[in-house]
Structure formats: structure tokens, C-alpha cells
Chain A
């Protein structure tokens, strides 16, 4: 297991502001993430946690403030200042995403779904399928590579989504309620496997959750209330 570099944060947000019309979703958030850290973002519905995740990942450009990304071995980039093509390239190459549901292409097999990011990155298909199958096996899905998403259980489908998010070995994984649609047993299963892989690879994780038990898997929790980091968050021991 790699050791997180505590000296230089891999992601830094400073003074993040974002509004949707008259509604202020983020009101000056400052946040640092260390490489390899697993961060749980908690908060009630409408508190701004998903907006925060999307600003950090370069999905949204904040109205105010900045997001900086410092990849290992490369010069830092100010995500909030990049154009959409550059942010898309960054999301594809450096970030991974897991959502609550509906993220798998229903007509593609599990293995093909996982291989898509590799194909987009230019990997040859046989190699992409080999790596996908390997990762699926590590996530307990051996022999299910040829199944369609509709033929998998919710937990299995979510593990396929995790495999797809991790197959390119991203530096940061963004997970928006990754176990929100699963029962507790399946949720625990998915989380355990996902975190085992990310900790082994030293991947940084930003995970949004409502569930305190899910948050307990993280190294650190932050609570977002009314668009700001609120009191009552847990820091690493």
C-alpha cells in the first residue's frame, strides 16, 4: 500500500462559489485532498455536496474560486481555468467516476462496458478486454464478463461500474452515492472491494454519501451544509 503524500494536496479548492439562478449552491468552500486519501462528503439533500464534487472533477466550472490539480510527475493544472475539451481529457485520463445507478451502457457486455475508457485512451481491444476481465475477476465477477447489465444484480452492476472507473488507474475517483441503490450487504461488499483496490493503487477518493456507515470507510469526512463546509466532521486519527 502506498503512503499518502501529506505535503502537497493533489486537489485543492479555494473559495468555491457556485449558483444556480438565485440559489447559491456553494458559498466559499476551501478543501484540500491529499494523494491517496479517501474523503467522504456528507450532508443533507440540497446542501451542495454533489455540486462540490462536480466542481472538483471539472464537470462544472465554479462561478468563483478555483480548483487546482497536482498530478504526480506533472505540472499542476488549474482545473477551473481549463476549457471543456481539456477538462474532458482530464476526466478521461486522470479521474474515474461511479454514480448511484444507470451508468452502464445496457447493450454492452460487462467486459465491454469496462473496456470503453481504455479504448477511448487508444488501447487495442484485445488488450482492453484482457485488462477488463482481470479487473472484473478481482472484483469478484469472474465469468460474468459476457453478461449484459440487465442480467446482473444491482451489486454486480455497481462493481462493473467500479471496474470501469478504475480500469484506467485514475489518480482521483469521484463516487456519487456509489452504494445508494444497494442493500446493506451488497453496499458493504462493493465498498470493501472498491476501497481495497484504491488503497492498493494509492488512488484518491472523493465519495458522496448520506450513510454514516459508508462514510466510516473513509479516512476523513466533511459535512456540507448550505453550501459551506460545516462543523462536525471527522479528521484522521
Chain B
């Protein structure tokens, strides 16, 4: 191609520079976000790999009768001896400080052990601990009676290579073999696993994949919209080139190159921006911890691939669009009329929903597990729903605009409704980013609402009190030891009561009874109101289950004395302040007699599979921010493009006396009609998809009303839409000014 011709075609005027800058800027933002998201996905994976050793469960430390925590089958068994090639490890699932979960591992090893603990090396000796830097900082800045006394003497910090992120709270404490065997929950570990995700791998990956798609989609839309900027103006210039003898293929090549050049500049700028923003992006906490900046690195190959794909795709699309437009020497010879959208456009959406419903039905109703089919059905279904929204948008928009045109009374109404009816695809495209963003936000908000739905119940007599903690007592401890622990706890600031519950044997043992016995005088401290007139009372052992919703009643104990029973649980009532709660935890966990760390009914929120949802909720809000920001930008670009493409006719209207306020109203209506038409559908579908997703993970979850954040996000979306449209008002005034129209 002649360089002079190319230069003239690409940067022939001042407005060309503006358009090129617009394309480059939009692509830069898109590529930057793509790389950061890609890095984020890499980072999550790297984080899970580093933290894999924390999912090591080991092998039983006793042979013979099985699991020690199953009273029905457990028994004394035969201890499997500790050797130099193994360590005895107890994973504590509920070590909590404030509302954060601490990954605690208690280990006992022989002096000659060869087992290395990731990030530490040789296991810590009894009474000492290794902590992650973040936890050690917490320990050092918190009164010892609230945290430090739980772990013993500081021996060192755990290396970053064994920590999921810089905020990870991990502690490895040294214990004696006797202590751990007494708890009955320790396992033998010879090597720490490197297998990430554990049992929830498939669901986790599936949902993560859906989250990534949901965020990538608006980014791709943005790139597509900016590369089409000023298409009408470009067509005019191409017609001129055709008039002076350029062949259609040459014009298509020029179109491809003139889009590729700013796209390349933008893509390279996007790579640089992503590198610069990586440390800032790493500060965003996902699943409770920030990332190490290095986790977000995608590597030069990935960056080069993104640049190459974006540039090649935008060039190919630009070339193809030009060929399709059929530009001849006298302008566009083949009018590219939009095909009237028909009701068939509902098919992809229905197909997507059907696929997702099929995946959920298969697992939850038919109870058939076909892992090779479940995830593809769910992910494929989600992709189809996303695409289906974009496909159905123009059809719905046209339906509404037809009704609008019949009822239109003003010039702005007639002009806007007529244009929407004739070009529903182009009109909807300008708001499609925002529609997708609202859908994504609704999906994430629906997913996040699961946590709210299963929130801690309010204080109620006959159930565990939200401000109380309890810790089970290990086997072999005397009533005097338990009473002493309760007495010490009761003397701490903020502690209101400390009660020991008794039984025939420790709760983890086979002989543990179905009830817990208490002194009747202590019962009010546990929140009981109707107390039988007896010296000792009994309550069903399921009183300790945090998920219990039916209150339990006290009954008179069969024996009037607690003599002959052993302590099985210690309850501590607090004033509910975080300090008092952590003081109580520290007192109980540091006493040396508890089998399982002290827990409160609210702690379950931090544990098990709800953590996955919580992590995704954080990811969701991140995605929401990205999606809405991109969508707003896309709408501004698309609206500006719509104004530029109609510069001449709108300018003539102004010349004939049409006030600029009417033009503004036209632009606002053209954005508002498609947006409001599909918004309700986006919201409804978002929550439906969220419900399908959470049911896919666990059918005990329920989608509830979203948090206020959701409504704030929705309001923000609409404000952003208004802002994006308002941002083009200056452009309307400038490009349609009578002077610029006259001398165009």
C-alpha cells in the first residue's frame, strides 16, 4: 500500500486524530483490564497452589475402630506410632479472631523427624509457634489475653511460598504427642499435599470460570464498540478513495490497517498500564486476602497473545465491515439495512436457561453425577444466557419503540422512536454493555445474598446465644481443671458467665451420652428461661449445634449430683464485644483442656463451603465495578458515535431552527428506551441464574433479597448511564453547530 495514500486516509484531518485517539484509548483500557483479569485468574490459581498444604488431611492416627469423632463407631483403637517419617497433626477448623478465620495446625513430632512443614521446615517444639507475618503483626498489636496466649512462644514466621497471600492468617503450633492424641482428632502426615481446591475443585472452577466470562464479556463489547467509532465518517472517506480509483480490496485493506494501527498503539499502552496497575490491583482482597503483586503476572507470552488477538480481530472486523458496506465511488451503494429482528431471537436465551436448569436438575433432582457434562452444561448455559440477552435486546427494543412511536407526541419522541424502530440493533448495541453489567451484578448479588440468608439468628432462649462461646473438653480432664478454667474465664473483663457442662464421657468418645448436664443455677447464664425445679438439669447434646433452629427445653437430670460425671463442654457468655469474645476464646483455647477451639454460633459463617460463596462475593463486587465502569464508557462511546454518524442531518435540523435541547432529548430517549426495556429482564435473569448457580454448588443454599449494595450498584448503573449520555451533550452542541454544518 502506498504510504502516502495510507497516511492521507488514516490521519487526513483533525477529527481523524480524535477518532484514532478514541480507538487507542478504548483498546488500552480493554487490554489493561483483560490482562489484569487474566493475571487475577492466574493469581487465584497460584494462591490455591501455595495454600494446598493447608488442605492436607493425613491418615488416621489410630488403627482398628474408625473415626474418633464418630461416637457410634469409635473406640480406643490402637495408636499408630509416630515415626521419624511422620508428624502428628491436628487441623483446627474454628480458630477465630474477631471475624477472621485463622488456619491453625497443631503438630507433634519426634526430635528425629525428617518431615518438613512448608514455609517452616522442622516442626516447632511444644509450646512454641510459627505464624504468618500478617498473624504475627496481629498478635503483636493485640493484647495477649485476646490472641497471643492461644499459641505459646513465637519461634518464627512462615515463608511467603507457603502462604496463599500477604493477609493470610496461618499458625503452626508445637504440641506434645500426648496432648494431640488426647484430643482424638489428630492424624499422621508424612507429606503435605500440593493438590489445590480439595473436594470442591469442580464447583469452584466452574463458578470461577463463569465469573471470568461475566467480566470479560463487557471488556470485549467495549473493544468492539470503540473500534467502530466514526464508521459513517470513514465510509465517506472510503467513497472518495474509491472515486479516485482505489479498488474495493485496497479500501478494505486501508480500513483494516487504519483500525489496526491505533489498536496496536492502544494494546501496547494497555500492557504498560496493566504492568503499572498490577501492584494496586494486588491490594484488592479476594477471599479474605490480598494477592502478592507477582501473582498477577501473566508473562510476556500472554501479553503478546492478547495484543496480537485484539489487533488482528479488530483489523479483520474493520476490513469485513467495509467490504460488507459495499462502498462504491459515489458512496455506500448497498444500503446496509438492519434485518428486522423476529421472535426467534428468544431461542438462545431459552437454550441457555434450559442447559443451566438441566445441569441443576441432573445433580439435585435425578442425583446423577456426570462431572464431564455438569460444568460444560452450566458454563455453556451461562454463555448462552449472556449472548441471549444481547440477541433478544434488539427484538424487545423494537417492540417497545413501535408502541412508543404510536404514542409519541413530541418531535424528540417521534425522531427517537422512529430511529430505534428502524435500527433496533444499533440502538441496543449502545446500551448492551450496561445491560450485561446489570445482569452480571444481579448474578453476583444473588450469589452473595446466600450469606445473608443463612445469617446468625437472633438471641433466643433454648438455643446457643450469639454472644456466647463454647469449647468441648478433651478426654481425661478432671472437673477441677474445667472448673478452674471456667473460674479464670469468668474473671476476665466483658465475661458474664462461665458454665461447665458434664456427661458420662468426653463428647468425642463412644460412651458420651445424649445429654449434657448442668447445675440448674448456671442455666440462666446460657439463656434458658424455664428452669425445672431441680438441682441439676439436662439438655439434649444437639444444643451445641449452631444450625439448630428449634429451641430446646431443660429437663430435670436423673441424678441430683454431678459427681461421677466428667466435664464435656465449657460455655462462656460475653457482653458481645469483639474484645470480650476473643478474650474468652483465648482463655479457653489456651487452657490446654479443650478438644476443639471455642466457637460461637456466628463462626460458621467463616467456615466450610460458605467461604467459597464469600470469596465469590468479593470477586463479584470486583467484577461489578469493572463491568459497570466499562459499560458506562461503552455507552458514552456508542452515544458519541451515534451523534458523529448523524452529524450532517442533525446539524441541518439545528440549522432549520431545532433547539439543541430537542437533540439532547433525542439522544437521551435513544439510550433510555433500550436500557429500560431490557433492564428488568436483566435483573430477573440475573437472580434466576444466581439461584441455579448456588443450587449447583449446594442445594441447601437459598437466594434471598440482595444486600443494599446491590440497589446502590443498580442506582450507580443508571446514574452512570445518565452521566455517559450527558457527557455527549457537549459533542452534540459542537458537532451540530450551524457553523460546522454549513462548512462541512
Contact = CB atoms under 8 A, between A and B. Distances in A.
- Genuine A/B complex: yes
Interface of A: 20, 50, 54, 59-60, 84-85, 88-93, 95-97, 99, 102-109, 112, 115-117, 119-120, 124-125, 148, 150, 165
Nearest to B406: A125
Contacts of A84: 738
Contacts of B739: 60
A176 B418 CA distance: 27
B649 A105 contact: yes
Contacts of A91: 655-657
A119 B411 contact: yes
A92 B411 CA distance: 13
B652 A112 contact: no
A150 B335 contact: yes
A115 B657 contact: no
A116 B652 contact: no
Interface string B641-673: 000000011001111111100100000000000
B349 to A, nearest CB: 27
30 contacts: A54-B738, A54-B742, A59-B738, A60-B738, A84-B738, A85-B659, A88-B654, A88-B659, A89-B657, A89-B659, A90-B657, A91-B657, A92-B657, A97-B656, A99-B652, A102-B648, A102-B649, A102-B652, A105-B653, A107-B419, A109-B418, A112-B418, A115-B414, A116-B653, A120-B658, A124-B409, A125-B409, A125-B414, A148-B422, A150-B335
Given A107-B423, A117-B657, 6 more contacts: A50-B742, A54-B738, A107-B415, A116-B658, A124-B409, A125-B409
Contacts of B662: 120
A137 B460 CA distance: 82
Contacts of A89: 657, 659
A105 B652 CA distance: 10
B408 interface: yes
B410 interface: yes
A150 B336 CA distance: 12
A112 B655 contact: no
Nearest to A84: B738
B655 A59 contact: yes
Task: Select the residue from B410, B411, B649, B657 with max chain A CB neighbours within 10 A.
Answer: B657
Contacts of A108: 414-415, 418
Interface residues of B, number: 27
Closest 5 interchain pairs by CB? A92-B657, A91-B657, A119-B411, A107-B422, A107-B419
B502 to A, nearest CB: 84
B400 to A, nearest CB: 16
Contacts of A97: 652, 655-656
Nearest to A122: B410
A169 B355 CA distance: 62
Contact of B649 (A50, A106, A120, A124): A106
Interface string B702-744: 0000000000000000000000000000000000001100110
A157 B76 CA distance: 99
Contact of A92 (B415, B652, B656): B656
A85 B659 CA distance: 8
B132 interface: no
Interface in B407-438: 408-411, 414-415, 418-419, 421-423
A107 B738 contact: no
Nearest to B410: A119
B418 A120 contact: no
Contact of A88 (B418, B652, B657): B657
A79 B655 CA distance: 15
B418 A105 contact: yes
Nearest to B408: A125
Contact of B414 (A92, A102, A119, A150): A119
A120 B653 CA distance: 11
A103 B743 CA distance: 15
A126 to B, nearest CB: 9
A108 B650 CA distance: 13
A116 B414 CA distance: 8
B414 A120 contact: no
Contacts of A117: 656-657
A117 B410 CA distance: 10
Nearest to B421: A107
A105 B648 CA distance: 10
B742 A92 contact: no
A147 B430 CA distance: 27
B659 A112 contact: no
